[in-house]
C-alpha cells in the first residue's frame, strides 16, 4: 500500500508539469499572433500596391496625367516599403522568440517538443514582395508585363 502512494506524482511536480505545458502553448499562441500581424501587413501592402497600380494604369489614358501616375507609383512603392519593414519585423521577432524558447528549454522550464516551423505567411509575404518589386520596376522603367 505504501508503494502505491510513493509512486504517485507529488503535487509540486504536477504543478510544474502543467506550468511547462501552458508555457509551451503560450509560445505557440505568440507565434500565431505574429503570423496574424504579418497577415495584416500583407493585406495593407497588397491594397496599396493594387490601388497604386490601378491608378497608374488608368492615368495612362489621360493627357497630362503625370501627377496621377506619380501618385500611383508612390502608392506601389509605399506598399513595397511597408511589406519590407513588416517582413524584417516578423523575422526579428520570430528569431527572438525561438532564442527565448531555446533558453527556456535548456533551463527545463518548457518541454519544447513540438516543432517551430517556418511561417507560411512569411513565404507569402516574400512572394508578394517579389511581385510588387517586379510591378514597380516595370512601371518606373516602362518595361515588362506591367509597362507600357
For the stretch 43-81, pLDDT in tens is 999 999 999 989 988 887 777 778 888 899 999 999 999
Kindly calculate the radius of gyration of the chain based on its CA atoms and give it in whole angstroms: 25
pTM for this entry: 0.78
Q: Euclidean distance between the first and final Cα of the chain, in Å?
A: 88
CA distances from 10 to 2, 14, 23, 52, 137 (A): 14, 6, 20, 63, 65
**Range of weakest confidence among 25-29, 48-52, 133-137:** 25-29
Please tell me which residue, 104 or 11, carries the higher pLDDT value: 104
Ranges of each domain in the chain:
30-141
Matching residue, cell 522603367: 141
Amino acid at each position: 500500500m505504501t508503494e502505491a502512494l510513493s509512486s504517485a506524482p507529488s503535487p509540486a511536480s504536477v504543478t510544474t508539469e502543467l506550468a511547462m505545458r501552458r508555457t509551451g502553448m503560450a509560445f505557440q499562441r505568440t507565434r500565431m499572433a505574429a503570423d496574424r500581424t504579418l497577415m495584416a501587413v500583407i493585406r495593407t501592402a497588397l491594397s496599396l500596391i493594387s490601388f497604386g497600380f490601378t491608378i497608374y494604369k488608368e492615368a495612362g489614358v489621360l493627357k497630362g496625367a503625370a501627377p496621377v501616375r506619380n501618385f500611383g507609383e508612390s502608392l506601389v512603392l509605399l506598399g513595397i516599403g511597408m511589406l519590407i519593414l513588416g517582413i524584417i519585423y516578423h523575422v526579428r521577432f520570430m528569431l527572438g522568440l525561438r532564442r527565448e524558447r531555446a533558453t527556456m528549454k535548456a533551463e527545463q522550464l518548457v518541454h519544447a517538443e513540438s516543432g517551430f516551423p517556418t511561417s507560411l505567411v512569411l513565404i507569402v509575404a516574400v512572394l508578394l514582395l517579389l511581385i510588387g518589386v517586379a510591378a514597380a520596376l516595370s512601371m518606373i522603367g516602362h518595361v515588362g508585363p506591367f509597362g507600357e
